[in-house]
Amino acid sequence: MLCLLLASIPVVAFLVTLTVIIALTRLDADLLLALYAKFGNQPASLKGKVVWITGASSGIGEYIALCLAEAGCRLVLSARREQLLEKVKERCLLISKGKLSEDDIMVFPLDVVDYESHKPAVQNVLEKFNKIDILINNAGKSQRSPWVDVELCVDRELFEINVLGSVSLTQHVLPHMMERKQGHIVVMSSIAGLIGAPHSRSYTGAKHALHGYFDCLRTEMIEHKIDVTILCPGPVHSNLFIEAATGKKGEMMGKADNLKDKKMMTDRCAYLSCVAIANKQFEAWITEHPFLGICYMNQYSPLLSFLFLKIVGVKRLMKMREGQ
């Protein structure tokens, strides 16, 4: 009997390993986030929280707002375009199904690179809600161009929008959270903040910088009981490429989103982002294969990741990145 049991161990181990591999190939998020989505806190657990979202007028930011409105969170919606924010507010009120009133959603136009406006902006939000439980730094700009064709001013622009905007606003929100000994800072990065994405040096460099800034913040905030979450989506349906930079000053891609492209749907990305926030996950990878697999390879075997990318090639990788 014992011999039979021992002989079956390799078979059981093989079946378990095979099951895990098959399960991993079906994921659209890192393993921890996938487990949280199945067994952890859901966005509804954030009900009643005051959540400030930048870049809330469209794309992932808009859908995060909708997900949190459905959960019953009180919201501060910020972006440059007030008219679009008002439309997002209307959608949030509708999807909340009575959980929120007009007074529970604040439309607050804000340009993240107008650093001087950040301190009074925080005061205005506090006057309205008396607290800020969660700050979601989602505002950002994408960019596409070969490395050698990028003008330095484009790097500077992307760094100011994608990095310093979040750093500045966070710095003005932190004293309030530190005084309360509670709070949650969320920053929207990208899988381009984990791997060297080709043809987007300004965007990739800025997203890598975000990890440095906010990993540093997470460590410092341990004693203040303030959580920091870094979200890393992969290719997602949005209108990001309409205003995305190229390599030239003032030039934009002007490319509309095509729903036929093989990218994650925006509402799915927003839901997984909210699950990561609800469970206070340090860092969340939100992407489908092959990019999820590349993230794991890059994390645990950078050489294997580089060899894989070398075999795939830049042209093929770019098509995969665009969902083609």
Taking the C-alpha atoms of residue 264 and residue 45, their distance in angstroms, rounded to an integer, is: 24
| 36-64 b/e (C-beta count within 10 Å ≥ 16 → b) | bbeebeebeebeebbbbbbbbbbbbbbbb
The helix or strand, by DSSP H or E, that contains position 73, with its residue range, turns out to be none
* Alpha helices by DSSP H, 262-313: 266-278, 291-300, 302-312
Taking the C-alpha atoms of residue 78 and residue 182, their distance in angstroms, rounded to an integer, is: 22
Q: Which residues contact 225 (CB under 8 A, 6 or more apart)?
A: 181, 182
Taking the C-alpha atoms of residue 16 and residue 5, their distance in angstroms, rounded to an integer, is: 16
Structure tokens at 36: 């949280």
Q: Is 213 designated active site?
A: no
- Find the catalytic residue in 36, 63, 115, 203: 203
CB-based contact 322:269 (threshold 8 Å): no
Which residues are the active-site residues? 203
